[in-house]
Amino acid sequence: MTLHHTAWPAPGAPGNLLGGVAIGDVPSKPAVDWPLQHLRAPLLSAGAASLHEVWRTDEPVASGHSEGIQWRRSADVLMGVIELPEDAGNDTPLQAASQLVYERVFALLRAQGTPHLWRVWNYLADINGESHGLERYRQFNQGRYTAFVQAQRDTGGQVPAACAIGVAGGPLSVAFLAGTSPLVPLENPRQVSAWNYPAQHGPRAPSFSRAALAYPRGQEVLFVSGTASIVGHETVHPGDVAAQCHETVRNLECIVREANRVARSAQPFSLAGLSHRVYVRHAGDAGTVRRTLQPLLRGAPFVCVQGDICRADLLVEIESQALHPLDPA
C-alpha cells in the first residue's frame, strides 16, 4: 500500500483514489463516490483559485456511505468525510454537532475494523465567535472530548494528529484518515501537550497530538498537526506575524527531531522534505508570511490558505506531512 499526495486532476495517475480535499473557489462540488472534503477558504497562493489534493493507494478500494460519512478504504487504510450543519434546535448547536460527528466517525471505524484514527482535518464557521457563553472553538472541543470519552477512547496520549481551522461559513466539516494499525503519537518538548492544556484555554482540552507516525502497509507517514506560535501553553508574539512564523518553524523543527528519534524508515524526516499547508488569518499578511517562510522551510512546497486560527491572537498556523517507504522487514 502506498499513499500519494498529489495535485488533481491527475489523469492517468497510478492507483486508486482514497479521498482528498478541494481548497478554494470550487465552482460547484462535483458529485463523486469518494470522500472529497470542501475547504471553503480562499487560496492565497498566486495562480489558480482552487487546488485539489488527493490520497491514492495501489490497492483495491471499497466505498460506502453511512450516517452522512462518505468513505473509501483499502485493506488497511480508511478515509472519510462528513459535513454536518449546526442544528439550531439544539441547546448548544456546535457542541452537539461536534459530538455527533465524532460519534459517527468512531462507530464507522469500529464497524470497519480500522479503529485507529490517525489524522483529522476539522473546519468550522466563525471559530473565534462566542455564543452560549463560550468561544465556538471551545464548544467544539467539548463536543469532541465527550465523543472520545463515550467511545472509551484515550483523551490524552493516544490521540490523532489534527487541525481545527475557522472558515467563513458552511457546515462543520471533518475529514479523517484511519487504519488497522496504531499510530505513534509525538509531542513537542517546547509545548505543553494540547490534551493537557490548563482550563484557561477552555473547559475541555483539545484531543490531538502534536504529530503522529502512521503505518500504512510498506510506508511510514508523518502527520504534523496544525502548529502555531505557542510556547508552553501560551501564545507568543501576539500581533507580529513574522515573529509567529519564526516561532512556528522552531516548533516544527522540534517535532521533526522528535519524529526522527522514533522513526523506522532509513531516511530521516526534515523540514525540506515535508509538504506544508499554511493557514493565514489575514489575507493581507500573505506576502509577509510567504517571504518569511520561504527561507525557513528550505525550499519545501507550501500552500497558503486564508483561515482563522483557533486562538484569536494567533495569526498563522502550519501543518505538514511526509511519506517515506519502509524497507521490507
Interface with ligand 3EB by CB under 6 A: which residues? 122, 162-164, 194, 206, 208, 225-226, 228, 230, 310
Q: Which residue is nearest to ligand 3EB (CB)?
A: 226
Q: Which is nearer to ligand 3EB, 171 or 206 (CB)?
A: 206
Q: In which residue are the cell numbers 487504519 written?
A: 179
Complete DSSP assignment for 116-131: EEEEEEEEEETTT-EE
Q: How far is the CB of 215 from ligand 3EB (least distance, A)?
A: 22
Q: How far is the CB of 93 from ligand 3EB (least distance, A)?
A: 18
Contact (Cβ atoms closer than 8 angstroms) between residue 145 and residue 99: no
**Strand pairing report for 69-73 and 77-84:** antiparallel
Residue 258: C-alpha distances to residues 182, 184, 214, 251, 310 (Å): 18, 11, 14, 11, 24
Contact (Cβ atoms closer than 8 angstroms) between residue 322 and residue 221: yes
Backbone φ and ψ for 107, nearest 5 degrees, come out as -65, -45
Please say if 317 is a catalytic residue.
Answer: yes
Q: How far is the CB of 100 from ligand 3EB (least distance, A)?
A: 17
Q: How far is the CB of 42 from ligand 3EB (least distance, A)?
A: 20
Q: How far is the CB of 306 from ligand 3EB (least distance, A)?
A: 16
CA-wise closest residue to 9 among 316, 30, 253: 30
Q: Which is nearer to ligand 3EB, 61 or 127 (CB)?
A: 127
Q: Which is nearer to ligand 3EB, 70 or 122 (CB)?
A: 122
Q: What SS3 state is found at 241?
A: helix
Q: How far is the CB of 141 from ligand 3EB (least distance, A)?
A: 6
**Sign of the CA dihedral with 18 first, then 222, 168, and 50 last:** negative
Q: Which is nearer to ligand 3EB, 206 or 216 (CB)?
A: 206
Complete DSSP assignment for 132-199: TTEEHHHHHHHHHHHHHHHTT--SSSS--EEEEEEESSS-EEEEEEEESS--EEE--TTB--GGG--G
* Per annotation, catalytic residue among 135, 220, 247, 317: 317
Q: Which is nearer to ligand 3EB, 28 or 200 (CB)?
A: 200
The three grid cell numbers given for residue 82, joined into one nine-digit string = 462528513
Q: Which residues are known to be catalytic?
A: 317
